[in-house]
Structure 1
Amino acid sequence: MNRRTAMKKILVLDDNLTICLMLKSWLVKRLYEVETATNVDDAKKLIREVAFDLVLSDIRMPDMDGFSFLSWIQKYDSDVLVIMMTGYADIESAVASMKSGAVDYISKPIEPELLFKKIEDALKIRQNQKKSKQFINAFIKPEGRAYTELFKRLDKAVVDNTHLLITGDRGTGKASAAKYIYEKGVHKSFPFVTADYDRFSKNGSDAGATSYSFQQENSWISRKFAEAKGGLLFVKNAQLLDKTGQLQLQDFLTKQPKNENFTQVIVSTDKTISELSAIWIPKLLTTLQKHHILLPALKENKESIPFFAHYFLKVANEVLNKKIEKIMPAVQQLLLDYDWPGNIQEVKNTIIKAALLTESNCISEEVGRLLFKAAQKEPVDHPKGTSVKGLRKERYEKEKIEEALTLAKGNKTMAASILNIDRKTLYNKIKLYNVNTTF
């Protein structure tokens, strides 16, 4: 079992400060990060600032009843679990709150061990749900010759259980391909760990490190390898590795024994083989080229666009609780005429945005033209070969976050999906750029 997981964050809301402090002392000893609030306004403020995993809330508060607060949480961040605390006389209300979206309830006076069990059970259920959602895109098999051939190669990679290089333009599904191999392969019982060099370079995860290498024994990347032991390590943006890092990655790929602790490595980049030959040492390129998969660009496989559009419409209906039945023919033509520089990810974002703007049972030509007019004004991602730095990059990211939050009507889970980042990263960026989240 992988125990190198981040501490779960819990918010305790009760108008009795003594109860808040008592519950906090119990939970901190169980290695949870805990914040407390004695009124709903303070609780909302904390939820806007922190990506909580779970809220433990009294069902009766002076400034707002538990049902209204629960409804607010679900609209603001549907990934937050809620357990209601109630007096014996309010059990009927607590049961009703579960029908409204609370994951569980607990009666006062609270028994510590029962509380711990309810929290652990709730977090375990949510983890399983997240894992199911995490892999949902990996298993869709689009129509079209290019994707049929792609899945044949992915299935062969599952059987071979070797290290692999995946290349392709941004948004073509490199992460989904890696997750497909993991879920279908022999490493499924062990961790799937992502080492994103782009995120590492932005966060400066190793103080004092001057390059993105394996030099330090306890470096960021060596910790990632330790986390992934026996599982699958997905290395993103590997073009950022310096030469020392490339040499040590080469050693790991070629000298790692293939025993029960064998860790499969999938290296991904949006650079071409020709571009990699100019920045990677020959040995590493030769090693990874032996097992290489190039993901198809959507502009070259337009027959697959209707499949992706209708698939993501189903996803949008489920997430947004809508019942959109069709995409008007004029919109379908707009989809086919567009070049999709952001590939599959851009299709997903476009359909989700269209669903958010649609109040009827079909995506209209008016909505379609509105979206494609916006798409033609600005690129979906940073253009290849350009460098967006400093204030320009901060302004760009802040505008994208504000746009996603506006489209999602403040819902953090949906905004994160639109931006293709995880929820905690979204919270960190909101705090970093001081983004207004009041909707």
Structure 2
Amino acid sequence: MPTHTAKQNPRAKILVVDDKEQMRDVLRKFLAAEGYLVETAADGKDALRKFSENKFELVLSDIKMPAMDGAELLTEILKINPQAIVILMTAFGSIEAAVAAIKLGAADYVSKPFQMEDVLFRISRALKEKHLEKRVADLESEIQKQSAMQKIIGGSAAIKRLKQIIERIAPTGDTVLITGETGTGKELVARALHEASGRNKKNFVALDCSSIPETLIEAELFGHEKGTFTGATDTRAGLFELASDGTLFLDEVETLSLAVQAKLLRVLQEKVFRHVGGRIDIAFQARVIAATNQNLAKMIDEEKFRRDLFYRLNVLPVEIPPLRERHEDVPEIVAYLLAKRARELNTEKFKITPEAMNALQNYEWRGNVRELENVVSYITALGGNTIGAADLPAQIQNSKFKIQNSKGEENIGNGQATLAEIEKIYILRTLQTVGGNRVQAAKLLGVDRRTLYNKLRQYEIEE
């Protein structure tokens, strides 16, 4: 296996601070072999000077040093850059000092004597968390400028494919039928279609068809004349009229009665409608986008939905994947939602431990993004600013992984798998998810490459 040098694989710049020359030298060589750019300092004062003159992504410092100890150095570094990442090294007997330093703003600490793999893991995790925080901050600064397309969060193949479909069909004026489970974001996709079309300066009018009583839905859609029914004291425009030449979004279209379905079909065919109680045809040019979380083909067989209306609506079908089929998007969605909650609660930014994130990634999410948002609201309302696995709702903590072994059997969470077996299967599933790309697998697993390679050898997984 080739060793990657810093020049071959440029990464973060790290400042190592320790008053023992041997320790500085060992850490410098080891981290440089991992691709990091490394400088060293023999004491706190020298470290502070170098930090002031250079840009370091991370500082790895011993706590017990003469002149200026690690805690003092941490305080001074944070004065220069409050966003600096500092990891402290501490002897076994001074963990209390490290915990106190964490409260002062250190990102993490590692106890001596330590395994180099542990140091690498903590460095990688701290840098990853900082990168995620920066990404969220960038999202926050652009939040007002975001289009609906940008709010469709995720980098999975399924989401990339969804965005490609939106871009391709948005310019057309054809009717669209969006299908997807509850909570997948059907209205967000409809808005993205509208904003990416030539109608983006026109009205976007949305209606949840299930929220309007059957006796009023027709008047809501098509408008009504004065005196048509009790309470109709004035002539009122319907949503087709309000949409004009923009976009009309009909969510949960399957809840419309067969009688209203027939009238909707006529409007789509003839491009005209009448007010309830009216006799004048009114032309409309709005694009209609419908959405459903039901199997319309099954409803057609059960004679609960008109086949001809289905064909009229399903000119351009768009299917939104459920969250459980794109679990790699969960960390980015969670980061976005945590930042949103911090703004809403006017509090410090929330952090989440790798263990908690792992549990969220492996939950089934039958309620999709909406359920995930509810969970984030729950844990941020009841917990502190650092969210651990114990802060998650019981159903997530007790969730069983649905990971198959080499025989295609689900054996995680059934009480028969050892911890090592669970880890091996999880690594195999992650590798399968990223098509065998070990760099991407290491990122998803939250470990560095060397740790992953060691695990591959340990579990005799072919490279």
TM normalised by structure 2 equals: 0.46
Structure of higher CA gyration radius: 2
- Return the structure number with greater helix share: 1
Tell me: higher relative CO, structure 1 or 2? Use CA pairs within 8 A at least 6 residues apart: 1
